[in-house]
């Protein structure tokens, strides 16, 4: 099998980066809904702003990990996936 652990690590990294982006988007939507629903209550508005800020910081952290790995070695985050052909047993 070509690739081995390095191919596995790349795919796990891309999956986690994608999951972080989706979760950040979900948290942004929840924070926005909380902010709109706070009805002027400063405590609830503060909680909503904190949720939005934390979602953006988490997304920034995830994207920074990609930037660092890409700077060190672009092959670490190269997302090309080649699946070798399967030989049939006769």
- pLDDT at residue 1, rounded to an integer: 47
Q: How far apart are CA 38 and CA 45, in angstroms?
A: 6
pTM of the model: 0.74
Q: In Å, what is the CA distance from 12 to each residue of 5, 72, 76?
A: 10, 18, 12
- pLDDT at residue 41, rounded to an integer: 92
Tens digits of pLDDT across the chain (90 residues): 456 777 777 888 889 999 999 999 999 999 999 999 998 899 999 999 999 999 999 999 999 998 998 898 887 777 665 667 778 887
């Amino acid at each position: 099998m070509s690739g081995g652990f390095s191919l596995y690590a790349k795919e796990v990294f891309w999956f986690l980066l994608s999951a972080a982006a989706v979760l950040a988007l979900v948290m942004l939507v929840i924070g926005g809904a909380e902010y709109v629903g706070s009805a002027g209550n400063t405590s609830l508005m503060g909680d909503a702003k904190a949720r939005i800020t934390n979602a953006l910081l988490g997304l920034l952290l995830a994207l920074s990990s990609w930037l660092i790995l890409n700077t060190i070695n672009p092959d670490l985050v190269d997302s090309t996936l080649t699946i070798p052909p399967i030989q049939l047993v006769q």
